[in-house]
Amino acid sequence: MFSLIDLCAANAVGVYLDGEPVQAPARISVAAFLLMHSDQPMRHSPVNDEPRSAFCMIGNCYECLVEIDGHPNQQGCLVTLTDQMRIVRQLRRPSVFSKGGRDE
Amino acid sequence: MNELASGDETNTDLAIIGAGPAGVSAARLARRLGLQFMLIDEQTKVGGNVYRNCLANLDGSGKIAEILGSDYRKGRHQMAIESLSEDNYLPGSQIFSLSRTGTIALKRSGQIQLINARKVLIATGAVERPTPCPGWELPGVMSVGAAQTLLKDAHAIANGPIVFAGSGPLLFLTVIQYLRMGIVPAALLLTGPYFGRQSWLGALRALTSHPSRIGKGIRWIIRTALSKIKVYTEVEDLRIKGHERVGSVSFRSRNRSVELPAEHVFLHEGVVPNTALSMAADCQHVWNAEQVYWAPVINDSGRTSQLDIYVAGDSARILGADAAPLSAQLAVLSIATDLAVLTRADMIQQSKPLLKDLRGEVRIREFIDRTYPPPVRTMEQLPDETMVCRCEQVLARDIRALADVQCTTLGQAKAFTRCGMGPCQGRMCGLTVATILAHATGCDIESVGYYRMRAPIRPVSVAELATMNSQENFSILGLQK
Amino acid sequence: MDEYDVLIVGAGVVGTAIGYGLAKRGRRVAMLDDSSYPFRASLGNQGMVWRQPKGYNHRPYANLTASAVESWAAFADELRDEVGIDCAYQRTGGLSIASGPEELAGLTRAMRALQSHFTSGGCEFEIYDRSKLTTLYPSIGDEVPGAIYTPYDGICNPLALLKALHHAFKARGGDYVPASRVNRIEALAGGGFKVFVEHGERAYRAAKVVLAAGLGTLKLAQALGASVPIKPNRGQILVTERLRDVNLLPSNILRPNQSGSLLIGASSDDVGYDTSLELVASANIANRALRIFPWLANVRVVRMWSALRIMTPDGKPIYQELPGARGVFVATCHSGITLAPVHAHAVAEAIDRDTFGGELSPFSMERFDV
């Protein structure tokens, strides 16, 4: 895990991680938040389910793919936390009917 | 419908992609010369990677400025730019398409925007060379650049036993930053060759032109040596182990086998130009055999084989943050001449001092390059079970097996193994796969070629793509008449 | 200098299938592959093993396609036995989904015409009206009136097919020579040919030459005094992220691939040899797909391809010995995936025996001389 060395972000925001409400520093990326929150992987690889987490933090490796506000496969390192953001770790491939589509 | 929806707005002369030292410098000069420009950046604040979040970090008396160091503090001046507005600055924008004629399609706050620029300057900096080894795909393994990003953006540091491994100035810089915070990493594993005579001669030469910088390097080395960090040299056969997460690293150092517990591992083997945009725009690229990377073919001003597209800064050639403003200004001078805002004579005259300074930067860089050569042998000898393509989980042995059917190009390797087909489109595996394939088939890496990087440079949804057919759903900035 | 029974110019799906077939028949075969990556149609297609509605206006082509599709399963087994590579062939059934009533009427007419070529059956199709279609896909777009369903259509992994053919060619003793663009073919006085490769001045001797170089065939044939009327036609395909819950039949709109991505296509643009991606074409593909399957809205496109199809004036293949250049054969088509079994068997045999009879005889260029 990662820890903060100072409270650089004065205002905390309230976000939802895997459905649970969590307080988080403002103005940091989703990926940074996840790395500070726990050691759990950000996702499982859609090829064979292996656990994966951010590697490069600059948008080059595409490992930090999480669902943000209902949109799957978002690069968490490129998205800044906002209040009420809903973050879901991608432990399965996104459904082809994501965002509330009817199942077939 | 045969056309993308269009409006009749005014032209944008110059689209600058990337707001690091090259991009911001280009914007300042463009404004001074009276060129209409649009500074487009993926991040929400200027700084690129080297000066990431510098305006906030250098404002006030936070400790962070001390920790990050004197080079970073140059950002206060380098990144200063006045009156950026919605008219000329688009932060938080993900470009997913760049055509050879200067049409840019980007996503910003959920909206698609199209920009038609008469000239484009790509200033997207560098990316780290991929650093594969067995187990590098485990959570907890990151690049040194990731450690930098976390420190600069979030003021966050890694917990637990930390192992740094690799070669290059950025590796040392990050170790020094952690030491300044009072954190002693468990170990520093140096994979590069022992400092030989050639390096010291080059150091002497560079010292005469840039004494302060070499002095700094020497201070770093001394500081590292004096700390309690364990330094291992001539590191080979690095393997990262763990179940679901990093647990330990094993390696050989001077023929001794070592195993160390680790909670985080940071890897680095130098940086290479970010060629995603220049390749997507069909610019010609050339293989740099000494530094083992592809770079866009450019003239002295940074113009590529596509006449309206220029590249500056590390995206053109790795020369570092101090060289970036120089090549950016050279490009803008040439662009201004193309657009008849500057005479050729003036351009040549104003370019002279920039070219001179750039030559000095090249000399420094040559020293660094000689001291930290690219890890070609390590890549060629990666264990068979190394996952060289992380996205599609292709192993080194799968690439070596392609020699059996004389597969000699990266394109064919991609077709046969799926390497390079994942979300990163080969950014994390291209150089490695090319090196291994060349070695296995006896070809030179240049002939193996590269993946055809193309749009979408960043993923875009079907709905977002579809909106480009519809008049109301997006706005155009600067349509070419 | 190397001497062969047959030298094949081009190592895409057409060339390798023919090469494999000839090598299997005991011939000494060399296959030369140029290094020009962008025009490689074999790598830029959707892997459809497809009949509907090909040949609705051309009985021989309808029959050729039917025979290819019917033998595909056995061909996939053959390749799996030869080299252990699975082409992932699935006879899933296929759909052509209409965007509007006129299109549905046109598709229906074409299928009826196609069916008329098969007097003893084997060309069933069903017209799914909207109510039937919505039982299959409840959230299908509002404007969709219906679709044509064909039980014999299906998909394969076209990259696995190419890989399997390469391995099989080699296993049967074929010589694959990459990075060898042919720039001259010289007829030799005593019979046979000398084939020159640029950048290296290599040359090969062969009794026969097969031009299976896709669009590259044009120039080579011209140099031999023959005009082969082929033109490039660009198609673009959108590739999505990997997904779950994908229960979709392959159709004219999209097909799921083995990895769980959707391949959405395909456009058709006459832009010469330009394989650069055009946003207009991509936007059109996305638009059409979205009108049929609205739930695609939130699915991300992670890659796009652009490849050049090889189009003859009537869209049907050309298989023949070149007029005025005996011993040189040309094989070109835009359905190299579907027709792979035919290329490996009937076409290879025809080249071996110097005679294009039976189901192949209607595919000479003479049909273009009116």
Span C71-109, pLDDT tens digits: 999 999 999 999 999 999 999 999 999 999 999 999 999
Chain B contact present for A91, CB below 8 A: no
Residue pLDDT, tens place only, C275-327 = 666 788 888 999 999 999 999 999 999 998 888 888 999 999 999 999 889 99
Q: Would you say residue A3 has pLDDT above 80?
A: yes
- DSSP-derived 3-state class of residue A12: strand
Instruction: Identify the residue among A61, A69, A79, A91 best suited for mutation to test binding to B, counting B beta carbons within 10 A and taking the highest.
Output: A61
Nearest to B468 among C162, C283, C300 (CB): C283
Enumerate the H helices of B298-417 as residue ranges.
Answer: 324-338, 344-371, 376-380, 396-400, 410-417
Q: What is the pLDDT of residue B211?
A: 65
Confidence of residue B158 (pLDDT cuts 50, 70, 90): very high
Chain C contact present for B471, CB below 8 A: no
Chain C contact present for A25, CB below 8 A: no
Chain C contact present for A92, CB below 8 A: yes
Q: What is the pLDDT of residue C121?
A: 87
Residue pLDDT, tens place only, B354-373 = 999 999 999 989 888 988 99
Q: Chain A residue closest to C244 (CA)?
A: A95
Are B422 and A65 an interchain contact pair (Cβ–Cβ within 8 Å)?
A: no
Nearest to B462 among C43, C277, C297 (CB): C297
What is the C-alpha separation between B403 and C322, in angstroms, rounded? 35
Min Cα–Cα distance to chain A from C256, Å: 11
| E strands in C258-299 | 262-264
Q: What is the pLDDT of residue A99?
A: 58
Are C300 and A72 an interchain contact pair (Cβ–Cβ within 8 Å)?
A: yes
Q: Chain C residue closest to B279 (CA)?
A: C276
* B194-203 average pLDDT score: 56
The contacts of residue C351 (CB under 8 Å, 6+ apart) are C6, C18, C22, C208, C210, C329, C331
Chain A contact present for B40, CB below 8 A: no
Least confidently predicted of B102-106, B190-194, B395-399: B190-194
From the list A57, A59, A89, the residue with the least C-alpha distance to A72 is: A89
Q: Would you say residue A65 has pLDDT above 60?
A: yes
Are A101 and C245 an interchain contact pair (Cβ–Cβ within 8 Å)?
A: no
Alpha carbon distance, N-terminus to C-terminus of chain A: 40
Residues of chain A contacting C260 with CB distance shorter than 8 Å: 46, 93
Q: Would you say residue B379 has pLDDT above 70?
A: yes
Min Cα–Cα distance to chain C from B416, Å: 6
Q: Would you say residue A23 has pLDDT above 70?
A: yes
Element (H, E) at B457: none
Q: What is the pLDDT of residue C245?
A: 84
β-strand partners of B143: B267
**Structure-model confidence comparison of residues B205 and C56, the more confident one:** C56
- DSSP-derived 3-state class of residue B472: helix
Are A96 and C259 an interchain contact pair (Cβ–Cβ within 8 Å)?
A: no
Q: What is the pLDDT of residue B207?
A: 58
Q: What is the pLDDT of residue B5?
A: 46
What is the C-alpha separation between C160 and C88, in angstroms, rounded? 8
Element (H, E) at C221: helix C217-223
Confidence of residue A101 (pLDDT cuts 50, 70, 90): very low
Q: What is the pLDDT of residue B216?
A: 75
Is the Cα torsion angle B461, B466, B470, B475 positive or negative in sign? positive
Confidence of residue B225 (pLDDT cuts 50, 70, 90): confident
Q: What share of chain C is helix, strand, coil (3-state, %, to 5)?
A: 35, 25, 40
Are A96 and C137 an interchain contact pair (Cβ–Cβ within 8 Å)?
A: no
Q: What is the pLDDT of residue B480?
A: 24
Chain A contact present for C241, CB below 8 A: yes
Interface of C with B in 178-207 (CB under 8 A): 178-179
Nearest to B406 among C159, C176, C282 (CB): C176
Least confidently predicted of B218-227, B447-456, C282-291, C339-348: B218-227
Residues of chain C contacting B408 with CB distance shorter than 8 Å: 178-179
**Structure-model confidence comparison of residues B454 and C256, the more confident one:** C256
Q: What is the pLDDT of residue B456?
A: 93
Nearest to C286 among B99, B421, B462 (CB): B462
Q: Would you say residue B202 has pLDDT above 70?
A: no
Q: What is the pLDDT of residue A22?
A: 95
Residue pLDDT, tens place only, C121-167 = 889 999 999 999 999 999 999 999 999 999 999 999 998 999 999 99
Nearest to C247 among A99, A102, A104 (CB): A104
Q: Chain B residue closest to A48 (CA)?
A: B393
Q: What is the pLDDT of residue A8?
A: 58
- Degrees, nearest 5: CA angle A53-A80-B42: 90
Structure-token pair, residue B286? 């050339």
Min Cα–Cα distance to chain C from A70, Å: 9
**Structure-model confidence comparison of residues A12 and C319, the more confident one:** C319
Residue corresponding to tokens 């201004």: B336
Nearest to A32 among B63, B143, B150 (CB): B150
Are A98 and C298 an interchain contact pair (Cβ–Cβ within 8 Å)?
A: yes
Report the neighbours of B using a cutoff of 3 or more CB pairs below 8 angstroms.
A, C
Confidence of residue B223 (pLDDT cuts 50, 70, 90): confident
Are B245 and A39 an interchain contact pair (Cβ–Cβ within 8 Å)?
A: yes
- How many DSSP H helices and E strands does chain B contain? 18, 24
Q: What is the pLDDT of residue B10?
A: 35
Residues of chain C contacting B406 with CB distance shorter than 8 Å: 176-178
Are B154 and A36 an interchain contact pair (Cβ–Cβ within 8 Å)?
A: yes
Confidence of residue B6 (pLDDT cuts 50, 70, 90): very low
Chain B contact present for C279, CB below 8 A: yes
Nearest to C242 among A46, A70, A98 (CB): A46
Chain B contact present for A48, CB below 8 A: yes
Q: Would you say residue B194 has pLDDT above 80?
A: no
Instruction: Identify the residue among B389, B406, B462 best suited for mutation to test binding to C, counting C beta carbons within 10 A and taking the highest.
Output: B462
Per-residue CA distances from B178 to B74, B76, B147, B205 (Å): 20, 22, 10, 31
Q: Chain C residue closest to A46 (CA)?
A: C242
Q: What is the mean pLDDT of chain B?
A: 89
Are B427 and A51 an interchain contact pair (Cβ–Cβ within 8 Å)?
A: no
β-strand partners of B204: none
What is the C-alpha separation between C179 and C162, in angstroms, rounded? 17
Do the beta carbons of residue B22 and residue B327 sit within 8 Å?
Answer: yes
Backbone angles phi, psi at B163, to 5 degrees: -115, 130
Residues of chain C contacting A97 with CB distance shorter than 8 Å: 139, 245, 295
Are B456 and C287 an interchain contact pair (Cβ–Cβ within 8 Å)?
A: no
Nearest to A61 among B158, B159, B428 (CB): B428
Chain A contact present for C135, CB below 8 A: no
Min Cα–Cα distance to chain A from C137, Å: 6
Interface of B with A in 199-258 (CB under 8 A): 244-245
Backbone angles phi, psi at B326, to 5 degrees: -65, -50
Min Cα–Cα distance to chain B from A19, Å: 22
What is the C-alpha separation between C95 and B163, in angstroms, rounded? 56
The contacts of residue A20 (CB under 8 Å, 6+ apart) are none
Q: Would you say residue B135 has pLDDT above 90?
A: yes
What is the C-alpha separation between B302 and B122, in angstroms, rounded? 10
Are B463 and C290 an interchain contact pair (Cβ–Cβ within 8 Å)?
A: yes
Nearest to A102 among C138, C247, C262 (CB): C138
Residue pLDDT, tens place only, B280-309 = 999 999 999 999 999 999 999 999 999 999
Chain B contact present for A28, CB below 8 A: yes
Q: What is the pLDDT of residue B134?
A: 98
Radius of gyration of chain A (CA): 14
B285-288/B293-296 β-pairing:
antiparallel
What's the complex ipTM?
0.94
Alpha carbon distance, N-terminus to C-terminus of chain C: 43
Chain B contact present for C280, CB below 8 A: yes
Residue pLDDT, tens place only, C167-204 = 999 999 999 998 889 989 999 998 999 999 987 678 99
Do the beta carbons of residue B156 and residue A36 sit within 8 Å?
Answer: yes
Interface of B with A in 72-131 (CB under 8 A): 94, 127-128
Residue pLDDT, tens place only, B55-86 = 999 987 778 999 999 999 999 999 999 879 98
What is the C-alpha separation between B291 and B375, in angstroms, rounded? 10
Is the Cα torsion angle B469, B471, B477, B478 positive or negative in sign? positive
Chain A contact present for C138, CB below 8 A: yes
Residues of chain C contacting B469 with CB distance shorter than 8 Å: 283-284, 286-287
| Torsion of Cα atoms, C242 then C247 then C253 then C258, to 10° | 50
Q: What is the pLDDT of residue A96?
A: 79
Q: What is the pLDDT of residue C323?
A: 85
